[in-house]
């Protein structure tokens, strides 16, 4: 029996490492909730005991075992912009996951299967007998520590998430395809540093690389981050060593370098815990800053996000989130089309792209019955006519490239405006340990003619593979 179990687990280790990806099932909001208070809940406070118990019931202990999981996602042609679960980022189909942990080494990998090629457009696809599959995540990670210094090294395909937003993130979100990357992290007491070198997909026959570094300060109440990213492109683009320097200020070095195959972004964010049950946070991303023309606000290209999170409000088992996102026109873009901040055609930053204002609210309520949780999401979107696919233009310049002081900007977002309203109501049922069924009804008025209702079904389960 021991031999069979050993063969079983190593079979999955080999097969999924070759063709796999990381599984993602936890609610976006619970990820940030779980990381509060330096990865610990204040169990002495009664209002947190309910949420702590809930998260522990859903969480797999990656430090003690390895496991195999599956996730099934179905929805009937939903075009909702509300992202309730991370799994909403994939289409209809089956997602597998294998996660292996041994001392300081972590291996995670899985694969997505679907019978609809369009549903797999996010991935590097392969079709066998009408079944389309793609590798979503496949990486290994090594972690260690020396006295007060902790560090890790990750190689492979994985998401890169940076920011404080719960319903969205401006800098790096998990909405894009996972990146083929090398990521180094280091932590000394309250200081955290991260640096990544990423290979993006090719655009217009140009090879593209993305580099990112960030430094953070984290305490019991305050979490503050400053980060920077830069996209380089060319006909034959290799890894540039100078962008692996985490202490180099890339944006400053490359001001005015739009013709040199570069596009840089600055990011800053902060989360402040007013009290254990109340958290305030913001993000700001700067693409371009106008230093040359007076009264030309439209030459600035930036985005910001504001949010507030209530735990145990209005009830002890409640979670309430309110967020506002503003992303100006032409943010995430450049004169060079290969510099757009996308991967596999999907935004790397905010999942709505640019040229919009969005108001979001999420409410979760844990129940004391077999039904674990009910939830409600609401989104109000004011969308301008432009997007990440819109060609980068300068209507304020004349035919000679000179600035027209008489130019009148149409405003933000760019008219004509379109207004979208949508909401998502659902429930999460715990069938047994590590097995959940999530049902939701999504409604939106994207046609502006009638209210459309869509049904989404999510099912996920994990099996522990115990060490013998």
**Largest Cα–Cα distance of the chain, in whole Å?**
82
Cα-based torsion angle of the residue sequence 323, 329, 331, 335 in order, rounded to the nearest 10 degrees: 170
Please determine, for residue 81, whether its predicted confidence score (pLDDT) is greater than 80: no
Q: Give pLDDT, residue 388.
A: 93
The enclosing domain of 269 has a CATH number of 2.40.160.130
pLDDT value at 88 more than 80: no
CB distance 456 to 377 below 8 Å: no
What is residue 286's predicted lDDT score, i.e. its pLDDT? 93
Q: What is the per-residue pLDDT for 246?
A: 77
Is the pLDDT at 208 greater than 70? The verdict is yes
Considering only 39-43, 98-102, 112-116, 241-245, which range has the smallest mean pLDDT? 39-43
Classify residue 165 by burial, with Cβ atoms within 10 Å: 0-12, 13-18, 19+: buried
Contact criterion met (CB below 8 Å) for 424 and 377 = yes
pLDDT tens per residue, range 109-145: 888 888 776 666 665 566 677 778 888 889 999 999 9
What does the pLDDT average to over 252-257? 55
pLDDT in tens, 1-43: 444 444 434 433 333 333 332 233 333 434 444 444 333 333 3
What are the tens digits of pLDDT across the range 324-359?
A: 999 999 999 988 899 999 998 889 999 999 999 999
For the cut 90, the answer to whether the pLDDT of residue 169 exceeds it is yes
Q: How many domains does the chain have?
A: 1
As a whole number, the mean pLDDT across the chain is: 80
What pLDDT, in 10s, does the model give residues 286-295? 998 877 777 7
What pLDDT is stored for residue 15 in this prediction?
36
Residue 74 has pLDDT above 90, yes or no: no
pLDDT at 172: 94
> How does pLDDT run across 181-190, given as a tens digit for each residue?
999 999 999 9
**How far apart, in whole angstroms, are the C-alpha atoms of residue 173 and residue 263?**
18
pLDDT at 257: 47
Rounded distance, CA 37 to CA 33, Å? 9
User: What confidence tens digit (pLDDT) does each residue in 383-442 have?
Assistant: 999 999 999 888 888 877 788 888 888 889 999 999 888 888 888 888 888 888 888 887
The residues facing 181 across adjacent strands are 156, 198
- pLDDT at site 465: 63
Say what the pLDDT of residue 390 is. 92
- Domain range for residue 325? 2-465
pLDDT of residue 43: 31
pLDDT at position 3, please? Answer: 45
Q: Are the C-beta atoms of 246 and 227 separated by less than 8 Å? A: no
pLDDT of 266 over the 80 cut: yes
């Amino acid at each position: 029996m021991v031999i069979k179990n050993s063969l079983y687990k190593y079979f999955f280790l080999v097969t999924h490492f070759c063709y796999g990806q990381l599984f993602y099932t936890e609610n976006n909001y619970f990820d940030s909730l779980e990381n509060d208070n330096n990865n610990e809940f204040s169990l002495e406070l009664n209002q947190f005991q309910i949420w702590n118990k809930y998260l522990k019931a859903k969480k797999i202990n990656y430090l003690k075992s390895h496991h195999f999981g599956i996730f099934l996602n179905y929805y009937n042609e939903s075009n909702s912009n509300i992202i309730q679960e991370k799994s909403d980022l994939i289409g209809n189909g089956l997602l597998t996951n294998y996660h292996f942990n041994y001392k300081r080494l972590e291996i995670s990998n899985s694969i997505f299967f679907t019978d609809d090629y369009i549903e797999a457009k996010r991935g590097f696809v392969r079709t066998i007998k009408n079944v389309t599959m793609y590798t979503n995540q496949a990486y290994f990670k090594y972690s260690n520590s020396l006295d007060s210094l902790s560090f890790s090294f990750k190689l492979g395909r994985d998401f890169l998430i940076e920011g404080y937003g719960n319903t969205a993130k401006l800098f790096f979100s998990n909405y894009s395809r996972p990146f083929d990357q090398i990521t180094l992290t280091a932590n000394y007491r309250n200081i955290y540093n991260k640096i990544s070198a990423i290979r993006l997909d090719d655009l217009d026959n140009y090879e593209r690389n993305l580099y990112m570094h960030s430094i953070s300060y984290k305490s019991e109440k305050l979490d503050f981050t400053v980060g920077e990213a830069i996209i380089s492109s060319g006909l034959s683009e290799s890894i540039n060593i100078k962008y692996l320097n985490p202490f180099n200020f890339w944006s400053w070095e490359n001001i005015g370098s739009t013709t040199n195959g570069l596009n840089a972004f600055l990011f800053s964010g902060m989360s402040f815990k007013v009290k254990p049950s109340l958290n305030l946070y913001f993000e700001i991303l700067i693409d371009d800053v106008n230093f040359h023309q007076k009264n030309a606000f439209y030459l600035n290209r930036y985005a910001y996000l504001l949010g507030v999170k209530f735990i145990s409000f209005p009830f002890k088992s409640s979670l309430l989130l309110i967020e506002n996102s503003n992303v100006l026109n032409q943010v995430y873009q450049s004169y060079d089309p290969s510099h757009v901040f996308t991967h596999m055609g999907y935004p790397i930053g905010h999942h709505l792209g640019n040229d919009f204002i969005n108001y979001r609210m999420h409410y979760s309520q844990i129940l004391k019955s077999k039904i674990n949780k009910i939830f409600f999401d609401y989104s109000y979107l004011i969308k301008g006519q432009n997007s990440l696919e819109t060609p980068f233009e300068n209507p304020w310049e004349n035919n000679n490239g000179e600035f027209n002081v008489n130019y009148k900007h149409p405003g933000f977002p760019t008219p004509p405006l379109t207004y979208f309203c949508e909401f998502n109501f659902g429930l999460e049922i715990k069938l047994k340990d590590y097995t959940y069924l999530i049902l939701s009804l999504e409604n939106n008025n994207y046609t502006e003619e009638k209210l459309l209702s869509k049904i989404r079904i999510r099912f996920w389960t994990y099996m522990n593979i115990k060490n013998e």
